[in-house]
Chains A and B, each alone.
Chain A
Amino acid sequence: MASSSEQEPRGMFECQLCGLTVPYSYVGQKPPNTRTVVLLEECYVLKDPFSSDKDKFLILGSQCSLCSKLVCVGPECSLFYSKRFCLPCVRENLSAFPQEIRQDVEKRHALSKTGSRKLASRT
């Protein structure tokens, strides 16, 4: 029964960039009920609501390794390249990243323009 209590929501995760608000059930690098997977950063984790499997988890987000903002893993907010970076920090330090990442960020920028329109419509 310990496992079920670990699934209980512990609080709300809120992305400081996009405002996505989701309850989380675990923070850390070893999600509950999983033995063979570790996370390479301290993550806010939720039991995967789209799976009936108890040990399936869903990573919601973590802190940006530069500015320490809490950000979600959505492509408009952050990326992972051996560490978590929020997109504003990536853009600021674009030159520090390899070409592949730079291209990717540009691509995301183009995408997020359409995305932000969507975001605007919800308020």
Chain B
Amino acid sequence: MDLSLLKRRSEHEWVIEPHGAMRVPGVLFANEDLVRAMDHKVHEQVSNVATLPGIVAASLAMPDAHWGYGFAVGGVAAFDPDEGVVSAGGVGFDISCGVRCLRTRLRREHVEEKKKTLADALFRTIPAGVGSRGRIRLKAAEMDRMLGGGAQWAVESGWGERSDLERVEEGGRMRDARPEHVSERAKTRMRDEVGTLGSGNHYLEVQTVAEVHDAPAARAFGLEEGDVVVSIHCGSRGLGHQIGTEALKDMLTAGRRHAIRLPDRELACAPIHSREGRHYLGAMRAAINVALANRQVLTHLTREVFAEVLPEADLTLLYDVSHNTCKVETHEVDGRARELFVHRKGATRAWGPGHSELPGALRGVGQPVLIGGTMGTCSYVLVGTERGMKVSFGSACHGAGRGMSRHQARKRWQGREVVQELERRGILVRSPSLRGVAEEAPDAYKDVSAVVDATERAGLARRVARLVPMVTIKG
């Protein structure tokens, strides 16, 4: 990105002054290198979002921002409930895609001995990749209960423990979900997919804590150097995509009727109180529940595998975050508490210490912010900050972001070589698709450590621990 288009407010804050139809400024949180590396489309998309009706304060971009459909991935925007809009492109198509992290009470050296058995057992048990089916077949009534109940539904159906729920956003169940707003086609796509990982950049990893950056916070999170954890990255599968795609078309019609001028079709949105807006919100919340249920069922399957291979393990949730959502939250704007519809697309909610929605054990320290890396690199656990609550609606980055297209990656690497190279480094990769592995090669992604470093320096969240993979199950 051309730096002359930005005004530098501080070391890690860059402003796009309102121009054209922009109602508010754009703000990019990143260091100079990351901003330079961002393509011009991020500038255009952040500016486009700033033109939407009812946007509050600023259109934001996290340090890992890159091109997305309509809104940039890594975009955060809050809207006034009366004047504002909701946009499917502002949530993203994989609704409520996110990361869940489980502690195991096991140490690295102990798991190392059983690593291969563990990798093979996880690969047998966790449905992953194209054409895989879950263990659950949902009939209509049960489907609606899942859409309304999320991870709570999963726990009540025997897929987990009640204590899991307090470590999931919204207590494991998104309120105001409307299963009747979810189309039959979307439900059909989900019939066999609960408890499946999917493909693309989704994964399940056994990881070890390689480094602790913040000892008191790590203690509060129950993490120590050498501990083993499991991270699960996936979302609402085909259902979320179906809802997003249908809403895109629906909102284009609504936008025309409400005379919303759009510089890009993918920016389609509808007033929050319009029929289309309310319809999408009800369906989108049901899709959030699907993602929460999905990660809960995968948690249960993971526990089954550990019970068989490493029975001394005790898998408890550190936390579960979603990074593609629109949620109603209260934030202070210009000294006044306001209820806002906060879109986070490729951005993680990051509540600072003291937030009333955090469970007691975490309230003093802040929310765990789980940042997924790529296979073969590393992931991070961060913690929300007070500053983030003030400057980014309590939001932080979500991952590395691709640096290279799938096409380029496939030309550059062979899947088998990637697997062998990672095995030499002690990381066991299990995937049904070698081509998929090549397309997801670690070097096809940007450097997650640089993103996390900028997130910390911008004050959006603070590093707590760095995790490195031992086993990766790839879709």
To the question of whether A and B form a pair in one complex, the answer is: no
Chain A residues packing against B (C-beta within 8 Å) = none
Interface residues of B (CB under 8 A from A): none
